[in-house]
Amino acid sequence: MGKTIIKDKLNRPLHDLRISVIDRCNFRCQYCMPAEQFGPDFQFLPRSALLTYEEIDRLAKIFVRLGVEKIRLTGGEPLLRRDLPILISRLSNIEGLLDLALTTNGVLLPKLADKLKEAGLKRVNISLDTLDDELFGEINGRGIGTGPVLEGIHAAKQAGLGIKINMVVKKGLNHSEIIPMAEYCKTHGLELRYIEYMDVGSTNGWKMDDVVTKKQIYDILKDHFELEPVGPAYFGEVAKLYRYKDTEVNVGFITSVSESFCSSCTRARLSANGQIYTCLFNGNGHDVRNFMRNGATDEQIEERITAIWNGRDDRYSDERTAETNRKRKKIEMSYIGG
């Protein structure tokens, strides 16, 4: 079946989809799911609220018909979702889907990397914010050292998966790890992406002062390494990329705060319970799960998604001020997966 290109109010096509497969996590990263808010009594979604693999597959096919070429699975921690390779295998068979990726904290990769690769996964982004065990334990809120994540990276490599490393940089927390992480990733041939700390959700206590900007990180890096810019790989590529001179290794920046990229944002998000979000910072989800469970046909779902996308005018990062940060109804990062 042919593809339809749909555009939003700012003329942005729908091109990529982030699917959260679970809202739970084995970490409690302080910038994402702080342990004080996500304690033992926190009510995560019941299993019946989660989209089934059949439902995810059905929606993914419709999204691909509407122009999506790239899907990333996320969470919470996606590898906690039971039998994830079954979902990967279904999604990787969708005609017209060009790229299937996954973002993970990496801890379960030693167990799952081979199975994920066999099922058709192409690449993983693994989150690691420091190489310091003690600091990492503090950041992940569970006292877990870097060992399990480093083993996860090794397992992904052995399995033949493409790997990128995500590092959220927060002032006063891990900015001293900018160079050690660069050294580690460069030595191991891994693309590192520094992510500006964002004001997602309402639990992480975000302050503009806590952000270490791309420019600040770049200035630190260029004292240690010779870097040359690399152009964007495609329209909507969110990372600003550089390459260490005389190597094939890239290093990138996700400048969500200091240099917003709303004008080329082509991403929809599907939460674990089947709500569509048109922006990381727009807390108004649009239900498709109940619609589907009440018997909607593929055509009706396609129409609903088209209407949601046609009505989209989000550009939060372009407009971000301390005021918008306080006032907006937002959605937790762990809920829609970054």
Interaction partner, residue 197 (ligand SAM, ligand SF4, none; CB < 5-8 Å by kind) = ligand SAM
Map the footprint of ligand SAM across residues 173-202, applying CB under 6 A.
195, 197-198, 200
Alpha-carbon 91 to chain mean position:
17
Q: How far apart are CA 96 and CA 62, in angstroms?
A: 11
| Contact code string over 153-172 relative to ligand SAM, x by CB under 6 A | -------------x-x----
Position 101 contacts ligand SAM (CB under 6 A):
no
For residue 99, which phi and psi values (nearest 5 degrees)? -145, 130
| Contact code string over 75-94 relative to ligand SAM, x by CB under 6 A | x-x-----------------
Alpha-carbon 67 to chain mean position:
19
Beta carbon of residue 195, minimum distance to ligand SAM (angstroms, whole number): 5
Tokens of 167: 């590092």
Contact 292, 55 (CB under 8 A): yes
269's enclosing H/E stretch is strand 267-270
Alpha-carbon 219 to chain mean position:
26
Position 105 contacts ligand SAM (CB under 6 A):
yes
Position 315 contacts ligand SF4 (CB under 6 A):
yes
Position 152 contacts ligand SAM (CB under 6 A):
no
Nearer to ligand SF4 by C-beta: 15 or 186?
Answer: 15
- By CB under 6 A, name the one of 14, 21, 22, 32 that touches ligand SAM: 32
Q: Which of 47, 41, 1 is nearest to 22 (CA)?
A: 47
- By CB under 6 A, name the one of 130, 174, 204, 271 that touches ligand SAM: 204
Beta carbon of residue 145, minimum distance to ligand SAM (angstroms, whole number): 16
Rounded to 5°, the CA angle 330-336-338 comes to 90
Cα separation of the two ends of the chain: 30
Nearer to ligand SAM by C-beta: 196 or 314?
Answer: 196
Nearer to ligand SF4 by C-beta: 19 or 221?
Answer: 19
**Amino acid code (one letter) for 198:** M
309: CB partners within 8 A, 6+ apart: 6, 7, 8, 14, 66, 268, 278
Residues in touch with ligand SF4 (CB under 6 A): 25, 27-29, 32-33, 75-77, 105, 127, 260-262, 265, 279-281, 314-317, 334
Residues in touch with ligand SAM (CB under 6 A): 25, 31-32, 74-75, 77, 103-105, 127, 166, 168, 195, 197-198, 200, 204, 333-334, 337-338
